[in-house]
Structure 1
Amino acid sequence: MEAADKIKKLRKATPTLELPSVTQLPESTNCLACSEDGRYLCLGHCRGLSVWSASSLTCVSEWLQDRLEITSVQMTRIAEMTYLLGTVDDMGVARVFAHHSDVIHLFGVINIMEDVNKRSICLTFELHEGGHYGAASVSCNGAAWLEVYHFPSAAWLEELERASSQKQDPNSSGEVDVKWSPVAVMIKIKPPKILAGRPLDGPPEVSQTTDYLAHCVALDVIMNSSRQWQKTSFNVEPMPDVLWPHAKEILCSAVSRCTRYIALGLDDALVCVWDRLSGAPLAVVLVPAENSAFIRMQFTDYWSVCADDSEIFTAEKVHLLLLCKSGEIHTVTTGRGTQSCTTQLTERPEDSRDFPSVITSVPFLQGLSLVVKRNGKMFLQDVINKTTVCFLTPPTTHLVSTPCSPVYALNAKLQTLFIRGDQDTSCSASSEDSSQSQLFIFRFRESGITKQFVISHPDSPQQQKTLSYDTLEETCNVYLQQRALSVAERTRDIMKTWERLQETAVTLQQRQ
């Protein structure tokens, strides 16, 4: 009873900020995306695509098609006023568009259905920042693989200018007929074939597993395969250069924004962080999350720095958020030359409606995460001090739409949250317009509560340098230069890694 009273008092003390409604959304808006520069919003709905001005919130262009429902959308800028759009519809078809001169152009369909009996389904479709590359996970007849695409961005920009000139020509019929350059499949990555039998020597639970690939991470597939693709004109299906094996099954993973660190959530509450530069684990951490498997993890940027954290190893620290199947949330701080620290951020919910459906680091707020629960509650949580900063709520007439999978977008440039809200059925709508979905906006910089957490320059110089490479070749060259200059460091890391692995093995044996 005392604990319940404390929780009630804490909730009363936590401020609640109401999200203002700004405009109506198209019917069945399933997804939102905001361009990196904060100029445009892209909306996917039951009739296609719409691009809005993020400042005036007015529609500037549409691509409509009956009975085509867009369920996923991404947006990235490829030129000053040209943006690449990647979508997936409810039938699993991926498409690539361009928004140029307030017109949406369809460049092509990624997974064309040529044979009904071999219908490929696009599960996820991601665009590389800058629009040079894309990747899709594809499934067909029980098989799954990853495809990486090269987008002819330079050719597309020339073709878009040609299309704009044709449209502005007074002698033209108004129809724009441009043959867009095709998307090229760089590589098609399929799971390696593993012979049946005992793949590993070790404990029975590891040796008897048949899904060996669930214990491995492939390394450097993209880099080497791209070199083969400059040499050949046909698709290649490469084998990975290096496999990072693990004794436990990989349940989830995350990549840091600088792409140097890869975090893996393993079975039995183990977290392994790999340093891609050194090719060795940065840390192996045992999280005290008993009887609860990891289902999601992510790196938390812009962690506050303590006064005594002035050592050279501070830059090597990484911070992770872990969501368990039970609903518990844990944080992990680890790094080279530091003692790993784990903290339980939230307890296991008693009611399934209190399970978090979204927990994401807000890239422009120091140490804060946005949490949305299945019951529709939305709040900002301080993952360092384990406190709720404030609740975010739409007006009493509306609720957060589909709280198990909310439709929202966070933009670091505008430092703004865009989220869809639906009419509360328990409230009688005064008009047909009010019953439609609404777009709610929260500008973090304008609130006195969140303003103190806002970071003026969210990207560190190292991250800006890492993210500024435009081509895969530039990224690979820098990567190779870094490896050549870090031989001594990597040798030292390998020695430390073996020591940590031995200590972890002893700990696991003691637990058994």
Structure 2
Amino acid sequence: MYNRKGSTESEMTSVGSVRTFIKKPPTLHLTSITEVPENTNCLACSDDGLYLSLGHSKGLSVWSANTLSCEAEWLQERIEITSIHMACIGGTVYLLATLDDMGVARVFVYNVEAIQCFSVINMMDDVSKRSVCLEFDLCKGGEHGALIMRYNSDIWLEIYYFPTQDWLRELKDPKISANLKWSASVRVNRVNPSTAAITTTLPNILSNFLVLDDTSEPARHCTPHFLMRCGQSYGKNKAKTGSPLSVCFWWTGSHNLLYLLLSKTAKGKLDPEPTPLILWPNASEIVCSAVSSCTRFIALGLTNGLLCVWDRLSSSPLPISGVSTDSPFLRLHFVDYWPACADNSQTLASGEVHLVTLCESGAVHVVSTERGLATDTEQLSSRPKDSSDLPIVIASVPFLQGLSLVLCRNGKMFLHDVVNKATVCDLYLPAHHVLANPCNPIYALNVKQHVLFICAAEEPSPSNESSQDDPSQSRLLMLRFEDHDATRPYVLSHSESPWQQKPNVTGEEACNLYFQQRALSMEERHKSITQTWKRLSSPHILRCH
């Protein structure tokens, strides 16, 4: 299937006396650009596409995405950055959220001239009393961060507000900049699993049917998602465009998706741990989740193989999908697909979504669902016979219509058309190169410039294998999708969905769109109901009863 010689060759197979020609997908080769710092662990791209940030064993650095040259560095001995996020907070000023190998979370600001540390979230002199940050996620716009914290066996979620507008003003004040007296970050929420387990805000008649979370075992992790504004009008007090208004999250072992409104100030002393709302109860435990790029849709994978999608615009679920799998869900993600339509209101009303699920066995399924229509589920690939073929990364490419990027443990890479169920092209590293970290590939997508960046290392020869103690030297590779015929038709002129292009949808408009879609799908729903009654009235069903 994979061929380095070109995109015009075909493979001939024979079945009996019939010969068929299977056209191989074209191959695209990544080009080597430059060396990156030793032991580079993480890579992120700014949302405006101008800069790359790299975390490594001596700190972090910011590079120009155009010239691929290092613009600034923050270097500290014995500090190894393992996770990094980047957000533009105004003009040429960027916020960097990092996590190091000791579980310390830091917030930096890069303002073209230098990188400065503005906040250290959980640093303490006594290491034995310090809480460890397991995960640090930064929202779009950089105003809020979600941190998963742990101390001994206790784990909890913290939400921080970062005063980005104050920091922008303070950077322009010579006195404040000279003294490095920045405004402090504010912890606005802290939520424990025990608080979430006993909480319900649903009516009593519904609460009787909820499955209470089992609190006998402590939660091992929390998965948060920031949510943008959806179907609400805020008048004079409306939030800044692009800023999230809430966060949803769930704990391992939990049946309930929880919800919190974001704020800019800490809660009062009488309410240090606010009670989250139960946004969505489920009969089975949640094992994975995903939010669409426009945050209109939330998807949950459950332990019983069910896949549920919630439409925040209409405040109702899409048809529940049953995925026949040979193992539990591992991950899932939305694939951006917005077909050309003269009237965006039709796209808004239909609620068409495409999801890719990855199971623990390595099997991959595609689920396509739409309000009022039957769900289409198809298996893209089965359990791989060789563990080296196991997919490690399956991610949506925001600027390529309906495509997923797949990276396997053995270095195989390709783009898959999720809607049409076809491989678009195979991606190859330069000769004698391998992925820098095959079990956790280091890559980033430049949404504005339509570029894939990925770190690779030279494959050691058998006669000159380096010691494991030697520092890992990697190279930065890139692929510009607009330069290739295979991917050029999929490139979007914009990376925003119709929902993001029309953010100020009022509640009345949302209801009108919902009823419009219901009217359009009436015939399909009538067919589905008729088929269901036919199955129920069949002789076989009647004998069973």
Which TM-score bucket, shorter chain as reference?
Answer: 0.7 to 0.9
What whole-Å deviation, never above 9, does each CA across 1:223-252 have from its counterpart, x for those lacking one?
Answer: 5xx39x477478731122335221111110
Worse-matched range after superposition: 266-275 or 186-195: 186-195
Which residue in 2 is equivalent to 1:369? 404
- Counterparts of 1:130 and 1:68, CA distance in 2: 26
Amino acid at match of 1:113: M
Matched residue type, 2:440: S
The answer as to 2:147 corresponding to 1:136 is: yes
Other structure's SS at 2:493 match: coil
The amino acid of 2:476's aligned partner reads L
Specify whether residues 312 and 453 from structure 1 end up closer, same or farther in structure 2 by C-alpha distance, changes over 3 A only: closer
What amino acid is aligned across from residue 187 of structure 1 in structure 2? N
1:442 matched to 2:479:
yes
1:255 maps to 291
Alignment of 1:331 with 2:366, yes or no, is yes
CA distance in 2, matches of 1:112, 1:132: 21
1:182 corresponding residue in structure 2: 184
How far off its partner does 1:137 sit? 1.1
CA distance in structure 1 between the aligned counterparts of 2:333 and 2:422, rounded to whole angstroms: 19
Report which of the two has the higher share of helix. Answer: 1
Deviating more after overlay: 322-331 vs 381-390: 381-390
Q: Look up the match of 1:171.
A: none
1:255-404 matches, cutoff 5 A: 255-289=291-325, 291-302=326-337, 304=339, 315-404=350-439
How many Å separate the matches in 1 of 2:352 and 2:482? 28
Query: Match of 2:181, as an amino acid?
Result: K
**Residue aligning to 2:70:** 59
Q: CA RMSD of the aligned region, Å?
A: 4.0
Corresponding residue SS for 1:283: coil
Q: d(CA) in 1 for partners of 2:347 and 2:338?
A: 16
Deviation, 1:340, is: 1.1
Partner SS state of residue 380, structure 2: strand
Structure 1 counterpart of 2:134, from 110, 123, 133: 123
Q: Alpha-carbon deviation of 1:483?
A: 7.6
* Structure 1 residue 303, shift from structure 2 partner: 5.2
Distance in 1 between residues matched to 2:348 and 2:30, nearest whole Å: 41
On the 8 A contact 2:445/2:453 being kept in 1, the answer is yes
Alignment of 1:462 onto 2:499: yes
CA distance in 2, matches of 1:380, 1:410: 13
Displacement of 1:404 in angstroms is 1.4
Asked whether the equivalents of residues 158 and 189 of structure 2 are also in contact (C-alpha less than 8 Å), the reply is yes
Question: What percentage of aligned pairs have identical amino acids?
Answer: 47
Give the superposition deviation at 1:36: 1.0
Match of 2:238 in 1: none
Residue 482 of structure 1, aligned match among 507, 510, 514: 507
TM-score, structure 2 normalization: 0.76
The alpha-carbon distance between structure 1 residues 399 and 207, as it changes in their structure 2 partners (threshold 3 A), is closer
Q: Which amino acid aligns with 2:507?
A: Q
**SS of residue in 1 equivalent to 2:123:** coil
Structure 2: distance between partners of 1:207 and 1:189: 15
- Residue deviations 1:256-307 (CA, integer Å, cap 9, x gap): 1222221000112100112234443222111122x31101011110255799
Q: Secondary structure at the match of 2:190?
A: strand
Deviates more, 1:280-289 or 1:141-150: 280-289
What is the deviation of 1:390? 1.6
Assess, with a 3 A threshold, how the Cα gap between structure 1 residues 241 and 17 changes in structure 2: closer, same or farther.
closer
Confirm or deny: 8 A CA contact 2:314 2:510 kept in the other structure. Answer: no
Structure 1: how far apart are the matches of 2:483 and 2:166?
42
Distance 2:171 2:213 in 1: 56
How far apart, in 1, do the equivalents of 2:266 and 2:156 lie?
22
* 1:374–1:404 contact (8 Å) kept in structure 2: yes
Paired residues of 1:397 and 1:427 also in contact (CA < 8 A): no
Deviation larger for 123-132 or 87-96: 123-132
1:146 corresponds to: 157
Q: Equivalent residues in 2 for 1:232-247 (5 A)?
A: 232=268, 236-247=272-283
Instruction: Write the distance in 1 (CA, Å) between the matches of 2:348 and 2:489.
Output: 27
Give the alignment's TM-score, normalised by structure 1. 0.81
Residues 435 and 111 of structure 1, relative CA distance in 2, 3 Å threshold: closer
Distance across 1 between alignment mates of 2:284 and 2:76: 47
Q: Deviations over 1:179-209 (max 9, x none)?
A: 11110001111123557xxxx9889x99989
Q: CA deviation at 1:464?
A: 3.7
| Contact 1:423/1:435 (8 A) holds in 2 | no
Aligned length: 469
Structure 1 residue runs without a partner (length 5+)? 168-175, 467-477
Supply the distance in 2 between the matched residues of 1:10 and 1:428 (Cα, whole angstroms): 41
Letter in structure 2 aligned against 1:482: G
Residue type of the partner of 2:495? Answer: P
2:297 partner amino acid:
Y
In the other structure, the counterpart of 1:173 is: none
Note the C-alpha offset of 1:462. 2.2
Decide whether aligned partners of structure 1 residues 483 and 147 sit closer, same or farther in structure 2, where only a CA change above 3 A counts: farther
Q: Which of 44, 49, 65 does residue 38 from structure 1 map onto?
A: 49
- Over 3 Å counting, the alpha-carbon distance change for 1:306 and 1:349 in structure 2 is farther
The answer on whether the counterparts of 1:416 and 1:444 sit within 8 Å (CA) in structure 2 is yes
* Cα shift at 1:384: 2.3
1:411, distance to aligned residue in structure 2 (A): 1.1
Structure 1 residue 10, shift from structure 2 partner: 8.4
Q: Does 1:222 align with 2:247?
A: no
Indicate the residue corresponding to 2:440 in structure 1.
405
8 Å contact 1:423–1:437 — kept in the other structure? yes
Distance in 1 between the 2:362 and 2:493 partners? 33
Residue 465 (structure 1) shift? 4.4
Quick one: distance in 2 between partners of 1:144 and 1:459?
36
Maintained 8 Å contact 1:185/1:235: no
CA distance in 2, matches of 1:451, 1:260: 27
- Residues 51 and 59 of structure 1 are in contact (CA less than 8 Å); yes or no, is this contact kept in structure 2? yes
In the alignment, the residues of structure 2 paired with residue 346 and residue 368 of structure 1 have an alpha-carbon distance, to the nearest angstrom, of: 16
| More moved, 229-238 vs 355-364 | 229-238
Aligned-pair distance for 1:84?
A: 0.3
